[in-house]
Every structure is written in C-alpha cells, then in structure tokens.
Amino acid sequence: GEDVEQSLFLSVREGDSSVINCTYTDSSSTYLYWYKQEPGAGLQLLTYIFSNMDMKQDQRLTVLLNKKDKHLSLRIADTQTGDSAIYFCAESLRSSGSARQLTFGSGTQLTVLP
C-alpha cells in the first residue's frame, strides 16, 4: 500500500512545542520528508531523514523515526505564529526503473494560538 497517514488538525499555544505525527507503509522507503505549505504558496522542504537514522535535529525542528512501527514525527520547539501552516510528511517510493517518487500524507493543519 502507499497510504501515508496524518491527523488533519493540531492547535497549540504560542511558545509550546508542537508534535505532528505520520505513519507510512513502505518499509523500503529510503528517505522521509517533512514539507510546509503556507496559505496560497507551494510546498517548502523543511527537513528529511534517511531511513537508517532514528533522529535528526535542525534548530527548532526534531524528526524522530521509528522504523519498526513505520512512524515519523516532527517536533517544533517554541512554536511561533509564523509556524501556522499545513505540514506534509512524504515517503520516497520506488516508481519505475531507478526512479523514486514522493507519496504525500493528507497534511496536518497546524494552528498556533496567541
């Protein structure tokens, strides 16, 4: 299967941490990605993690990967109003030949309350 699942909505208070969760299906995924989409804009690559890693930290962002449970999470520390957006996780699946393609989750709408 190629379903990547995320919860649709998350609300947090400014200054709190946000945790966005994602489950994926293909254990052969080599890279897993987090993208951010602000209103009326395209997707912006936030970070990615290689499948042989458990954790990756990049400033306020922490990605955790549990390969056994096929679970990926994105933690945003000290969440700001500018972090309000839709967050997509994506897994990289083999398509045809050597090509790989991204399969996206449904996106999680993060709302940061003042």
Partner 1 sequence: DTAVSQTPKYLVTQMGNDKSIKCEQNLGHDTMYWYKQDSKKFLKIMFSYNNKELIINETVPNRFSPKSPDKAHLNLHINSLELGDSAVYFCASSLGTLTNEQYFGPGTRLTVT
Binding residues (CB under 8 A) for partner 1: these are: 31, 33, 35, 37, 40-45, 48, 86, 88, 90, 92, 95-104, 106-107
Q: How far apart, in whole angstroms, are the C-alpha atoms of residue 25 and residue 39?
A: 28
Closer by beta carbon to partner 1, 29 or else 79: 29
> In whole angstroms, how far apart are CA 104 and each of 32, 89, 109?
10, 6, 14
Closer by beta carbon to partner 1, 16 or else 26: 26
- Residue 99 beta carbon to partner 1: minimum distance, rounded to whole angstroms: 4
Closer by beta carbon to partner 1, 83 or else 91: 91
Q: How far apart, in whole angstroms, are the C-alpha atoms of residue 18 and residue 15?
A: 9
> In whole angstroms, how far apart are CA 66 and each of 24, 51, 74, 98?
10, 9, 12, 26
**Contacts of residue 16, Cβ cutoff 8 Å, sequence gap at least 6:** 79
- Residue 58 beta carbon to partner 1: minimum distance, rounded to whole angstroms: 14
- Residue 44 beta carbon to partner 1: minimum distance, rounded to whole angstroms: 7
- Residue 56 beta carbon to partner 1: minimum distance, rounded to whole angstroms: 14
